[in-house]
Amino acid sequence: MTSLAHVSTQVLVALAQVAAVALGGPLLLGLMRKVRSRLEGRAGAPIHQPLLDLRKLFLKQRLRPRESSWVFGAGPVVLVATAVAVVAVSPLATTRPPLGQSSDFFAVVFVLLLGSVLLALSALDTGTAFGGMGSSRSMTIGALCEPALLVAILAMAIPAHTSNLPALVRVGLNHPAFIASPARILALASFLVVILAESGRLPVDNPSTHLELTMIHEAMVLEYSGPDLGLIVLGESMRLVFLLGLLVNLLVPWGVADRPGALAFGVGLLALGAKVVAVGVGIAVFEVFTAKMRLFRLPELLAGGFVLALLGAVTAVVAR
Amino acid sequence: LLGGGLAVAALAVFAARRLSHRRRNAWPAVNAVEPWGSGRRVQTARMQYTATSFAEPLQRVFDDVIRPSRDLDVSHLVESRYYIERIAYRTSNDDVIERQFYRPFIAGVRWWGQRARWFQNGSVHRYLAYGFVALVIVLVVVA
């Protein structure tokens, strides 16, 4: 039964989650860059620098390559739209997100994949060699890490008898023994490897490289400038925060709001922020001590992630 | 409801994005310029990625499974071997399962068919002998 009050609170929850992730994404990027800079002995830019960059980009003129079509403009828009849609219906700060019964882990993964595929297509649309190179490499990595992701979701869904995201988080909240089960630990380890691959962090892809031949994700966005580039940066940072938020909520769900109410929701947002910041800083520290892997060594890493997920799924089936 | 809710949300957000995107500058604001292309000034259609090149990393990853056949033809200039006049590169993916399983299987079936021709060579005496042997076997089994 949906009443007006119920619907309006759902909309507010969705807007609050989206706003938090949209603001938190660039801030997390800035914080990760700051941590890397400090560890490398530099002072680094301030933490809110990506927000300033976004403001600068959104005020610029829109340009597009001469031979591109509508796909070029649609890429960044769909990327951000899928990220926003997925963030709005996911249990990031609360276990009762709007449209919670239709927020299935598989559906969320495929909506995110839609954004990646359209970005790759729009990179091909520019007609340059580097756009094609970036999208072909990005699609190869995607093709190798999607099976690992799907099997990891299966490994988490089998013990909980559902792949509904809020239900998975709630199961972790109510039965802590589920979290310590080997199936879930293996699945989340595989999920971490997939996050590093999907969001283009080291050792898969160096996000701050200037050399085009080593670029994977950056080569796709080489032709973008102005508001389009701003949308892409925003979309990518939102996807990173979303994936990390899912990871921490499935691993350490305490703090997520289980009861309705603004206070619980606020606590949930703060807890999400603290957990995502902790994992983000951990990734940034890990990045300082890692070098980018050779492109054709990546299948070994992603196959390792797949094997972890497969072991988790087998454990989940055997230990049922 | 499973995908409907998510789809509706996605569409709503998509519409909002497109509207906000257009309002940022006056319409029409998109200027068509030369693509940057890492500083290359001349951009032709031949520099674009084709389907073969797009799939090349994935093909290289699964090289042991697909086993493509590659053909490289380099023709040098008549005057000097240091200069190349033409390069022709051909690659084709033969279906592994068809090559390893279907073709030997079909060859085996065909071989057996050839051998079985001996059983039906048109001689009536042989057919009568088959009937006699079958009758004897049936009598033995029933008894």
Q: Give the phi and the psi of residue B75 in degrees, each rounded to 5.
A: -115, 125
Q: What is the pLDDT along chain A (320 residues), one digit of tens a residue?
A: 467 887 788 888 888 889 999 999 999 999 999 999 999 999 989 999 999 999 998 888 888 888 788 888 888 888 988 888 888 888 888 888 877 777 888 888 988 998 999 999 999 888 888 889 999 999 999 999 999 999 999 998 888 888 888 888 888 888 888 788 888 899 999 999 999 999 888 888 888 888 878 888 888 888 888 888 999 999 999 999 999 999 999 888 888 887 778 888 888 899 999 999 999 999 999 999 988 888 888 889 999 999 999 999 999 898 87
Q: Hey, what are B40's tokens?
A: 């290359």
CA distance B62 to A301: 15
pTM, whole model, 2 decimals? Answer: 0.85
With an 8 Å Cβ cutoff, are A124 and B49 in contact?
yes
Q: What was the pLDDT predicted at A42?
A: 92
Instruction: Write out residues 40-99 of B within 8 Å (CB-CB) of A.
Output: 40, 43, 45, 47-49, 53-58, 60-61
Distance from CA of B83 to the nearest CA of A (A): 25
* Cα A191 from chain centroid (whole Å): 11
Q: What was the pLDDT predicted at B27?
A: 47
Q: Which residues of B touch A78 (CB under 8 A)?
A: 14
CA distance B83 to B76: 6
Q: Hey, what are B94's tokens?
A: 């033969």
CA angle at A237 for the pair A142 and A50, rounded to the nearest 5°: 140
pLDDT, tens only, B33-63: 877 777 776 777 777 888 888 988 888 888 8
CA distance A200 to A236: 9
Question: Please, which pLDDT band fits residue B21 given cuts at 50, 70 and 90?
Answer: low
Q: What is the mean pLDDT of residues B21-26?
A: 57
Distance from CA of A38 to the nearest CA of B (A): 31
Q: What was the pLDDT predicted at A164?
A: 86
DSSP E strands in B1-143: the ranges are 31-33, 69-76, 84-92
Q: Alpha helix locations (H) across chain A? A: 4-39, 49-58, 70-88, 105-125, 129-160, 165-174, 176-179, 182-198, 217-220, 226-251, 262-288, 298-318
Q: What was the pLDDT predicted at A195?
A: 93
* Cα A87 from chain centroid (whole Å): 10
With an 8 Å Cβ cutoff, are B31 and A62 in contact?
yes
| A68 against B83, higher pLDDT | B83
Q: Hey, what are A211's tokens?
A: 């050399």
Q: Hey, what are A50's tokens?
A: 């990506």
Q: Give the phi and the psi of residue A210 in degrees, each rounded to 5.
A: -110, -5
> Which of A135, A23, A28, A21 lies closest to A85 in space, CA to CA?
A21
Distance from CA of B64 to the nearest CA of A (A): 13
Q: How many CB atoms lie within 10 A of CB A40?
A: 9
Q: Which residue of A has its CA nearest to B54?
A: A136
Tell which of B1, B18, B54, B59 to mutate to test the A interface (max A CBs under 10 Å): B54
CA distance B105 to B98: 10
* Cα B96 from chain centroid (whole Å): 10
Nearest by CB to residue A299, choosing from B3, B9, B61, is B61
